[in-house]
Amino acid sequence: METTQHFETLPSNGCECCQFSSEIAEEAYGCKDRMIGIFTLREHDVLRRIRELRERVRGLKEYIRQLSSGDAEGLAARETAVRELDKMKEQRAQLEAERIAAADERMRLLGHL
């Protein structure tokens, strides 16, 4: 004897792949909402590198604020620090592109793209 259970399903936030029992959800809850806490190792690595870079930028900005621009030595150190800050901004842009690529990879692995 074969029995079949039918569950009433509610559509999620606009995607067809995420339908679930109405007993589970009282409001719309789609792929993007559920994928916030699920990261691949690649994403964890990129996010870690972004946090580390952010901390280095904070320290460098504080160092730049502390430098006195009155003497030539302080001015040269400030210019060097500002150039380093510009390099860090470029690194951040590269990491952001890598973060987006890693997120796209995760969505492909999960079958959503």
Assess contact for 34 and 102: CB atoms under 8 A. Answer: no
- Dihedral (C-alpha) 38, 42, 46, 48: value to the nearest 10 degrees? 70
Q: Would you kindly state where each structural domain of the chain is located, as residue ranges? A: 1-37, 39-113
CA 27 to chain centre: 25
The 10s digit of each residue's pLDDT in 65-90 is: 888 667 778 888 999 999 999 999 99
The 10s digit of each residue's pLDDT in 5-36 is: 544 544 445 555 555 555 555 555 555 555 55
Task: Tell me the pTM.
Answer: 0.63
Provide the pLDDT for residue 17.
56
